[in-house]
Structure 1
Amino acid sequence: MATDESLSLHPPTYPAAAAGRPSPPRDPLRRWRIAGLILPLAFLALIEALVRASILPAHLVPAPSSIFETLWQLGGERLGRHLGASTLRVLAGFGIGAALALLAGAAMGLSRRLDALFDPAFQALRAIPSLAWVPILLLWMGIDEAPKIALVAIGAFFPVQLSVVAGIRGVDRKLLELGEVNRLSRRALFTRILLPAALPQIFTGLRTGLSLAWMFMVAAELIAATRGLGYLLSDGRETGRPDLVFGAILLLALLGKLSDSVLKALEARVLRWRDTANDQAVSGGAR
């Protein structure tokens, strides 16, 4: 009978390629990645040229140079306070929401009874827009940090919970039968088969939840905040300063991209054992 070690989902290690065989490039997509970084800079340069040529109205679409000048005039300390406030709210809310979603999703994925009991309520709550939560949270929690973090946690909870349930339910039945043949305990079945097989979809849900956390953070700060990027958006709208509005939007895009890149790097590290069609295509060279 096969031992537990035979159930490892890690791909086997093959000997090194024969001497003289050309090794594949380390990153065949390097040129495309560089082009992906240059593309938004080229877009900003195009907007700058169109505004300078009076093709785009400056009072509606400010030149990127004026946007950067506005951010510079805010000062490092003042701008840092806004960035720090928004980032801390997202990290706290996303951490709470994702942790609760992982627990709830795992319980519902493993138990069809719990899934049948809670899924209708969760799907109904998931359809509620972010702004609809704001007056309720302000009424319950006041105007301090608690309602802002709670709103971010709500935004992060549902995509993560849904991905955990779908990931566990989508595990190949043959893997489960293999674990039962080898008489794995329920705990070993979860940790060695269900969880590794569901991790790719779970990480997809985490990345989606993180992006929604930034969106819900803006919704919270637009209404009840004295600092943060959402507050800058509201202040720019009320004072008629599109440069401040676009500056806050650019900072939100930058922070969202950086946070997603960190989570994507963590996903690549945790799931480095995978042997997928995409990995094979990359190792064989980009087309």
Structure 2
Amino acid sequence: MGDAAENDTLGVLDRMTSILEAFDQDDHGLGISELASRAGLPKSTVSRLVTTLVRQRYLERDGRRIHLGLRVFELGQLAAGPRDLRAASLPALADLRTATRHTVHLAIRDGRELVCIAVLRSSAAESTAVRAGGRLPIPCTALGKAVLANSTVREIDEILSVKLDPCTTRSITDPTVLRRQLDDIRGGRPALSLEEFRAGVSCMARAVFGPAGAVVGAISLSGSADGFDADRFDPALRLAALRVASRLSQGASGAV
């Protein structure tokens, strides 16, 4: 393949990726104009590429609305790291939800964000839970703080060295304050987000560690800020994180 043809192929892949990444968790289908605006591409280009992506099942049409297709979901399930962590975690997550009657999330880091890979909702969680596959900011969430506190100094500096955008009026945007919180988390306290991500919702989290001792994700409990009792639920949360780490270690050693 010549350089010109290769560059053209890469350009098409970049444009297709821009279209797929234009969707977010709150979308209920997008029109061509909205897709083009979000992807930063001409409508004619988006219309042509959408036709190809629909044919390949990466997108689906519902009248004039476009949705992510089944093939995207299928490929997502093949990602070994998230799949294995989720499988190892589900029994502990289910017991944690039963014990606390709060919504449980499991998330992993992806650059400057988290990706939620499992959600077990409480009966009253419709407006508080993030869907599986949804992305979360690191500094405003308990999950993010739990992961970041157990990351390297360089990774912490990368996150806190740029302007921190608030999610609510209670979000902490002062890096010095956040660094003190990270120190407390490393000292054994749970990570907390008290209405910092969503007004009226509080959350607590603990990191999950892999067989090599590195942080691989975090588990959280979330619920209404009114009466949220972190001290009461922390033992159950801590136990859940330890159970997941144990199962990951057993998997790494070949135990069934």
Q: Which bracket does the TM-score occupy, shorter chain normalised?
A: under 0.3
TM-score by length of 1: 0.24
The two structures have a TM-score, normalised by structure 2, of 0.26
Q: Which has the higher contact order (CA 8 A, sep 6+)?
A: 1
Larger Rg: 1
Q: Which has the higher strand share?
A: 2
